[in-house]
């Protein structure tokens, strides 16, 4: 079982060459995760190689600024993006270790192999890297940078920083720090096939340390307080943080279904659903199946005769759910390819029409999990958030029509932005009450009035007894133990 670290496990020139090809595509707009998943080269991407890809994209603004502080002439800024990627990787490596002369030599070796419109690309790479090392201690922001001083300082786009400062005045620095950090590796124990104690002992044999993390039930409905035989979720432990990271594909316990990779904050959705025996449950945006399979594990463990529908719009992504279901040996999940917003096309496959519980882990910006896909910081646009808002609103409206009276919807995102969270819930409730829609807005530094209007509105909705529903909300910010998450629980009255 191999440990993941930043050492140069493949030959360094190979690492730089392979990663530079991937980075070039990312800089042009491709998704890093998609490229890693569809790697068609003969060389597998090692954990160490992935480390450098993620480091470059986390630090992209400051790394690019470092290069542009040396490439003073504007015409040089438009040179081959592949060479540019080699420079980004080399400078990231400088900032993380002592092998500076080796990094320069290997980067030059890679640059010499390529055909470029620039004469002597190896010489250019050598000159830029050695000049960077010479000026490193006295580095100043480049006058040629496309990034602002705040973007270089915080490694985030300006608009993102402004929203975080406005919406989290006390926490924005800790959120930014978490976003720029290496994410924790959390695993979810399949309590049907193992336990926290057994798996901890097995992983100890490989010198892997496990830290159990308790489940949290944020919400308690008035109508639940008198109910009997309710599962005590505070005693339900299923998540562990593990160090150091390791390759799960090489691990027999993973292959036999004893655990899955899932962030701890994502596992809390199950406790919020308040599941009971004989219920009909829908996971409406299900791929890759982490929450569906967690539902299946939980219901199997309690011997519930519960039916779980795992709905996914994309056929290829639905196949990933099937893989996980088989590995975990779950028989209580039915996978259907379909669109939650077009239920007439897939509901005819079911024996029942309405659900007791619906989990909506909706498509979102992923802004609270961006450390796991750092290219997202640079690909996402502020205008994308408005599009997400309306898509999310359409999904929750469609799901509400599929929910039984006294049923619960858990609306979930891995976004930090209120436009995808509280504002969606406000607009959904306004639509139920036939009230005018709230205009979705990104809360900037100067718009404190808009911020307080949103939070006061959502607070009033939580504390007011409404005709249609009971509402609770919880917002979790990212830290060293888990990612960020937003949950809204809506019980239909």
Specify the pairing of strand 403-413 against strand 355-361.
parallel
Which pLDDT value is given to residue 448?
Answer: 52
**Tokens 């949950």 correspond to what residue?**
487
Q: Is residue 48 part of a domain?
A: yes
Average model confidence (pLDDT) across the chain: 88
Three-state secondary-structure class, residue 385: helix
What is the tally of structural domains in the chain? 2
**Tokens 């039930």 correspond to what residue?**
217
B/e letters for 399-409, b = 16+ CB within 10 Å, e = fewer, are: bbebbbeebbb
Which pLDDT value is given to residue 78?
Answer: 56
Q: Is residue 213 part of a domain?
A: no
Question: Does residue 454 share a domain with residue 327?
Answer: yes
Picking from 102, 104, 94, the residue whose alpha carbon sits closest to that of residue 126 is: 104
Compute the CA torsion angle 153, 368, 474, 279 (nearest 10 deg): 180
DSSP codes, 286-345: -TT-HHHHHHHHHHHHTT---EEEEEES-HHHHHHHHHHHHHTT--SEEEEE--TT-GGG
Which pLDDT value is given to residue 230?
Answer: 46
Q: Is residue 16 part of a domain?
A: yes
- Of 132-141, 157-166, 225-234, 244-253, least confident by mean pLDDT is 225-234
Q: Is residue 332 part of a domain?
A: yes
pLDDT of residue 109 exceeding 80, the answer is yes
Which pLDDT value is given to residue 224?
Answer: 47
Boundary of a domain, candidates 151, 166, 195: 151
Q: Is residue 417 part of a domain?
A: yes
- Of 68-72, 100-104, 429-433, 461-465, least confident by mean pLDDT is 68-72
Answer with the residue of higher pLDDT: 282 or 232: 282
Contacts of 118 (CB under 8 A, 6+ apart): 79, 80, 83, 124
What CATH number does the domain containing 414 carry? 3.40.50.150
Over residues 370-380, the pLDDT tens digits come to 999 999 999 99
What CATH number does the domain containing 97 carry? 1.10.940.10
Q: Is residue 218 part of a domain?
A: no
Boundary of a domain, candidates 151, 169, 191: 151
Please list the residues that pair with 260 across neighbouring strands.
188
Percent of the chain past pLDDT 90, that is, above it, reads 66
* Mean pLDDT within 387-407: 97
As a whole number of Å, the CA-based R_g of the chain is 24
Boundary of a domain, candidates 135, 151, 167: 151
Three-state secondary-structure class, residue 269: helix
Helix (H) or strand (E) holding 104: helix 100-112
Which pLDDT value is given to residue 412?
Answer: 98
Question: Does residue 137 share a domain with residue 283?
Answer: no
DSSP codes, 162-213: HHHHHH-TTTHHHHHHHHTSPPPEEEEE-TTT--HHHHHHHHHTTT-EEEEE
Instruction: Give the separation between CA 172 and CA 167, rounded to whole angstroms.
Output: 8
pLDDT of residue 89 exceeding 90, the answer is yes
- Of 2-16, 144-158, 208-222, 234-248, least confident by mean pLDDT is 2-16
Range of the domain at 314: 268-492
Q: Is residue 80 part of a domain?
A: yes
Six token digits for residue 202: 């097995």
Question: Does residue 277 share a domain with residue 145?
Answer: no
Q: Is residue 142 part of a domain?
A: yes
- For residue 288, whether the previous peptide bond is cis, meaning omega lies within 30 degrees of 0, is yes
Which pLDDT value is given to residue 266?
Answer: 94
Q: Tell me the C-alpha to C-alpha distance, in Å, between residue 351 and each of 4, 252, 279, 309, 335.
A: 47, 38, 13, 11, 14
């Amino acid at each position: 079982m191999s440990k993941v670290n930043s050492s140069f496990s493949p030959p360094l020139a190979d690492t730089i060459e392979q990663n530079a090809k991937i980075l070039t595509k990312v800089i042009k707009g491709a998704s890093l995760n998609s490229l890693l998943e569809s790697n068609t080269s003969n060389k597998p991407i090692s954990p160490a190689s992935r480390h450098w890809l993620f480091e470059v994209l986390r630090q992209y603004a400051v790394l690019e600024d470092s290069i542009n502080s040396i490439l003073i002439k504007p015409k040089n800024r438009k040179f081959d993006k592949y060479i540019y990627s080699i420079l980004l990787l080399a400078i990231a490596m400088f900032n993380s270790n002592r092998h500076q002369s080796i990094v320069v030599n290997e980067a030059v070796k890679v640059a010499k192999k390529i055909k470029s419109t620039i004469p002597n690309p190896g010489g250019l790479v050598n000159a830029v890297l050695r000049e960077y090392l010479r000026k490193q201690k006295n580095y100043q922001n480049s006058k040629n940078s496309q990034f602002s001083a705040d973007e270089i300082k915080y490694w985030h786009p300006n608009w993102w920083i402004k929203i975080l400062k406005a919406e989290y005045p006390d926490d924005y620095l800790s959120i930014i720090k978490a976003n720029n950090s290496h994410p924790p590796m959390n695993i979810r124990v399949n309590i049907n096939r193992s336990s926290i104690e057994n798996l901890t002992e097995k992983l100890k044999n490989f010198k892997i340390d496990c830290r159990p993390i308790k489940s949290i039930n944020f919400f308690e409905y008035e109508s639940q307080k008198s109910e009997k035989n309710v599962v005590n979720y505070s005693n339900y432990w299923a998540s562990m943080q593990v160090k150091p990271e390791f390759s799960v594909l090489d691990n027999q316990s993973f292959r036999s279904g004893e655990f899955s990779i899932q962030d701890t904050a994502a596992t809390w959705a199950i406790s919020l659903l308040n599941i009971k025996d004989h219920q009909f449950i829908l996971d409406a945006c299900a791929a890759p199946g982490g929450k569906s399979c967690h539902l299946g594990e939980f219901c199997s463990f309690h011997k519930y005769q519960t039916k779980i529908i795992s709905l996914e719009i994309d056929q290829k992504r639905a196949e990933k759910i099937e893989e996980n279901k088989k590995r975990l040996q779950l028989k209580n999940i039915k996978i259907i390819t379909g669109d939650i917003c077009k239920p007439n096309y897939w509901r005819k496959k079911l024996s029942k029409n309405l659900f007791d519980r619906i989990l909506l882990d909706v498509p979102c910006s992923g802004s609270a999990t961006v450390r796991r896909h750092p290219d997202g910081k640079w690909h996402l646009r502020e205008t994308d958030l408005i599009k997400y808002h309306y898509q999310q609103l359409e999904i929750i409206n469609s799901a509400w029509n599929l929910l039984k009276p006294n049923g619960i919807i858990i609306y979930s995102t891995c976004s930090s932005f209120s436009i995808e969270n509280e504002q969606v819930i406000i607009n959904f409730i306004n639509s139920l009450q036939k009230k005018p829609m709230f205009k979705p807005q990104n809360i900037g530094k100067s718009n404190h009035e808009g911020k307080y209007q949103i939070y006061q509105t959502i607070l009033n909705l939580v504390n007011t007894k409404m005709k249609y529903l009971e509402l609770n909300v919880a917002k979790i910010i990212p830290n060293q133990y888990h990612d960020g998450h937003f949950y809204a629980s809506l019980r239909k009255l």
